[in-house]
Amino acid sequence: MAAAPAGPRSASSSISGANLSITDAEFAQFQKLIYKIAGISLSDAKKILLAGRLSRRVRHHQLSSFAEYYRLVSGSQAGEELQIMVDLLTTNETYFFREGKHFDFLRQQVLANRPAGRQFDVWSAACSTGEEVYTLAMVLADELGADGPWSIMGSDISTQVLRLAASGHYPMERTRGMPPEYLKKYCLKGVREQAGTFLIDQRLRNHVRFSQINLNASLPDVGTFDVIFLRNVMIYFDQETKRKVVAQLAQRLKPGGHFIIGHSETLNGINETLRPVQPTIYMRP
């Protein structure tokens, strides 16, 4: 008697006490959907992660399979649920003063040579929960004054992380990497029911704005910038998406402006407009 053919491989997640699996075919549908929306290429190794992050939404809607959830988020009535799915699949880790050499370059090379009194604008183009934005704010406040002529825009595709970023309110354990003098100078420690947390000083938050922007879509009119940070997000894009995203952002740089990417990233073969200054730092001529 011939053996029955093996069914599709699956990753499992416990839902309502039952064992629910995501098949290769179901995972492939979500791979295509998140790529279409955000340009993010999920490798096959992310199947278990995807099943874990989306399982609670399957449970929330009392569905019996990931296929049913896919039909929900890909249909014409997806509404807010599609944004929830995007939030769950695009949240990335960040922390204050990550890749600190970039902030040293900003101080020593960019701000040191900036004409006095001129407005200075920065875009953190994949800001996640806001630590990069507020790191930039601390550096600019130190160099240009807390009431100086500078502004920062933080953007992300995820509304969930933008809500946290806009609040400027973090657990104390998130101070990892922050110089103690900045914690003292620009952060307010929580007391009583807010103990164990800190709030970014209002003087800095006055210079900051946040906006939901999908870098894989046509960009809104956000103005032009002296520096754009696009760090640690291109690793999730394929070459075509990288070229598209960088080309759009490069047009938002002022002449002589700098474009800064993550230490594991490069623009080699991606963009011919931006001139390399040093590894991971580029300039628009």
Told to judge if 226 belongs to the known catalytic residues of this protein, a careful annotator would answer: no
Catalytic residue among 57, 87, 121, 156: 156
Helix-then-strand count for the chain, H and E: 10, 12
Told to judge if 156 belongs to the known catalytic residues of this protein, a careful annotator would answer: yes
Q: Which residues are catalytic?
A: 53, 156
